[in-house]
């Protein structure tokens, strides 16, 4: 295992370490008054710092796909094995894999990428019951604010792959669909894994959201559903663009 390179909230090792730049960067200095760190202006600087560090690290990883899914899925579950295969398939196609850096399906996708020498990114979040970053991540970026972290998932990904998950996974799914629907980003693939899991939600969207005129029928084409890791990877990378992040 190659040594870690730690810089602020960013930790890199292995192939990710080789992509990191060692250029000097200025640091924000706190006020002599400790009370300032509890004010809104100081919070704004912390938020800015998260964006700067995230942009600085992820701008170097090249083509990438963000993978979402439950942190509660056990390693013996078929979905975990599928996540490993997806991570491996993406890395073999030349894509970095970005996840939330946690356990479960996130660890599966990171594992698949790392095992074949790919860039395996974890955008972690500070939570009350903090979970350590999974061992398969070779580029870690720590976030305090969900909105800063979510920006990284979108800005530096060519596609979203969404495995079964809970509120966090659904939040990422619907945020991506809103951004595409409102043309805040260029359209990109959003692929849902395992049709059986998503069937009830898709049926509800068609019957209620479309049926009551709350969204258009065409809005249901903003995502695709797949049942095999191979199909997931194909749908996510079919319209491969040139290198570099998509600009929101």
pLDDT tens by residue, 106-142: 999 999 999 999 999 999 998 876 578 999 999 999 9
pLDDT band at 30 (very low <50, low <70, confident <90, very high): very low
The chain-wide mean pLDDT, for the chain, equals 88
- pLDDT score, position 80: 98
Calculate the CA 202 to chain-centre distance. 22
- Specify burial of residue 174 (Cβ count, 10 A radius: 0-12, 13-18, 19+): exposed
Predicted local distance difference test score (pLDDT) of residue 9: 67
Q: What is the pLDDT of residue 245?
A: 40
Nearest residue to 110 (alpha-carbon basis) of 95, 121, 123: 121
Cα separation, 222 vs 181, whole angstroms = 8
Backbone φ and ψ for 141, nearest 5 degrees, come out as -130, 120
Taking alpha carbons only, the member of 125, 109, 101 closest to residue 236 is 109
Question: What pLDDT shows up at residue 40?
Answer: 83
Q: Which domains does the chain have, with CATH numbers?
A: 55-237 (3.40.50.450)
Tens digits of residue pLDDT in 143-188: 999 999 999 999 999 999 999 999 999 999 999 999 999 999 999 9
Is the pLDDT score of 24 beyond 60? Answer: no
Provide the pLDDT for residue 32.
Answer: 54
Helices 167-181, 146-155: crossing angle, 10 deg rounding: 60
Nearest residue to 177 via CA among 187, 167, 164, 165 = 187
| Closest to 86 measured CA to CA, from 24, 155, 78 | 78
Higher pLDDT, 199 or 10: 199
> How far, in Å, CA of 105 to CA of 108, rounded?
5
Contacts of 24 (CB under 8 A, 6+ apart): none
pLDDT at 33 over 70: no
CB 109 within 8 A of CB 87: yes
**248 has pLDDT over 60:** no
| Strand duo 10-12 + 64-68: pairing | unpaired
| pLDDT grade for 41, boundaries at 50, 70 and 90 | confident
Whole-model pTM above 0.85? no
């Amino acid at each position: 295992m190659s040594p870690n390179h730690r810089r602020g909230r960013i930790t890199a090792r292995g192939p990710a370490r080789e992509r990191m730049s060692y250029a000097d960067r200025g640091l924000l200095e706190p006020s002599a008054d400790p009370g300032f760190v509890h004010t809104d202006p100081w919070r704004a600087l912390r938020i800015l710092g998260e964006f700067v560090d995230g942009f600085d690290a992820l701008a170097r990883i090249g083509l990438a796909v963000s993978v979402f899914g439950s942190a509660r899925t056990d390693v013996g579950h078929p979905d975990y094995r599928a996540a490993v295969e997806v991570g491996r398939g993406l890395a073999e196609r030349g894509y970095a894999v970005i996840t939330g850096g946690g356990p479960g399906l996130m660890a599966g996708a990171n594992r698949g990428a790392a095992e074949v020498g790919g860039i395996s990114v974890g955008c972690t979040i500070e939570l009350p019951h903090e979970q350590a970053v999974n061992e398969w991540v070779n580029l870690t970026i720590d976030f305090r604010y969900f909105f800063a972290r979510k920006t990284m998932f979108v800005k530096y990904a060519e596609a979203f792959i969404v495995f079964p998950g809970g509120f966090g996974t659904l939040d990422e799914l619907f945020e991506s669909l809103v951004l595409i629907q409102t043309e805040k980003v260029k359209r990109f693939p959003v692929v849902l894994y395992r049709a059986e899991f998503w069937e009830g939600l898709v049926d509800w969207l068609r019957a209620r959201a479309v049926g009551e005129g709350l969204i258009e029928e065409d809005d249901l084409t903003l995502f695709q559903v797949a049942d095999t890791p191979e199909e997931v990877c194909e749908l996510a990378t079919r319209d491969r663009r040139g290198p570099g992040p998509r600009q929101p």
